[in-house]
Structure 1
Amino acid sequence: MEEAAIIEHITLFGLSRQEAAIYLCLLKNEELTGYEVAKLTGISRSNVYNGLASLVEHGAAYVMEGTSSKYLAVALPEFCDNRVRYLMKVKERLVADGPKKSLPREGYITIEGYEHICDKIRHMILGAEMRIYFSATGAFLEEWTEEIRELVKAGKKVVLISEDNKELFSKDEELRDGIIQYRVPEHFREPEEEEQRSDQIRLIIDSEYILTGTVTGKSDDACLYSGQKNFVRVFKDAMRNEIALIRIARNE
């Protein structure tokens, strides 16, 4: 990973870009004085000392007392684990005491960007109370193995439709036995239609909320999220009909 990318990722743990650069410098070296950090990073000495004080405050560095104070980086895994643990505690307090907000049932919400779509999928799957119906390519469905495993362990119904006829979880017998899977036969669609549908996803949670759209891994991916009753009912009927056709094709 490039240094700029490492710094960018470190900032996600509550450090400024400059603090992240100083922390990375400490990680690459033994204990350093503020003067040595300034010399290695090219950051002004006053900013370095402010940054080092902030790193100590955030639990990213230790101070080694001596004739002149030296600083030692807290190991990266330890720092990250501590920050995640701290944020989880903060999350619990916020959820308990903060304002409650739920998305409107009757509206249609556009979710843009691959990462944001994946965040929504994860939240929907883990929030399911009874069942999920999830249709996508086999590879995309298997990206959610751990989330699906949580549902199976909780005894919730999981129905997966592999749009590209891929067998799901072929090496995980326990998980495979805990789901209902349907594989769309290759002859169901014309080649151009199959290509068009290869990046489509459809997700229904508890027969109340749906997410549908395209996922290609890019920032311009977009999905529609809704709990509008008529829309959800039409969506469910379409998926139910597709499952019926698959079962007929399989002579079930």
Structure 2
Amino acid sequence: MGAIAEPRPSARPRRLAPTPAPVSRRNGWSVLVTVLVVPGLVATAALPAYASTHAPDERTAPGLPAAQSFTVSAAAVADLIDRTGLSATSEEEMRQRLADPVKVDRVQSYVSSGAQEAGDDYPWFYEAPDTEGGGLSPLGYYYRECVDFVAWRLNRDAGSVGAPFRWTWSNLTPSGGDASQWAYAWDSHGWPTGSDPVAGSVAWFAGNHVAYVKEVLPDGQVLIEEYNHGMSHKYGQRIIPASSVALFLYAPPA
């Protein structure tokens, strides 16, 4: 049934002067909220990237025997991001950090943890993980997950330590961000995998976890570096038998 049209007015209605919109007054608290919320809105969409459900393992190596090491290019070392966590790449980033007391607490906690001295160079250690409402890193994975840390290391080893990064979720594991999907991603790319550990490769575990192989030890064990082992969202190292790793994913071609 057709709608009945309303009669057309015979004269053009007078145009009224626009009423000025009320001017909102932003106080100091609203400015702080803006500073804290806006950075989280710029992250690009990606599939979830979670990490290990393994229980924490306290096996560490206070003194390591001589072993095979992965050598990073001099150019990459020269460009490594400052790991103190007390300075930013820009004044705006520093203002954002200082405006968030929670981030300040994370920086202080990280500095006192000794992770930096142990070898951690992950640049986003102060960001909130997904379990605390955090977003996605510039690499497209959730902050402080095992996958984001390993993706960072693959970029670092390729000499890519700043945007645009060589490896992100979109071209590293486009079929899915979870660690459980990384072996499939390597197979889809045609990248090599195997059971022999190699320094600089990815240790892939069947229990939805990945780690970075730092060293291959003479006794058939490997020293791995990782984030979020045991759901801690922190950096750690472990020495484990190479045979306990389901598959080694060798570094993708640069």
TM over 0.5: no
Structure (1 or 2) with the greater helix fraction: 1
Structure (1 or 2) with the greater strand fraction: 1
Structure 2 length as normaliser, TM-score?
0.28
Structure 1 length as normaliser, TM-score?
0.28
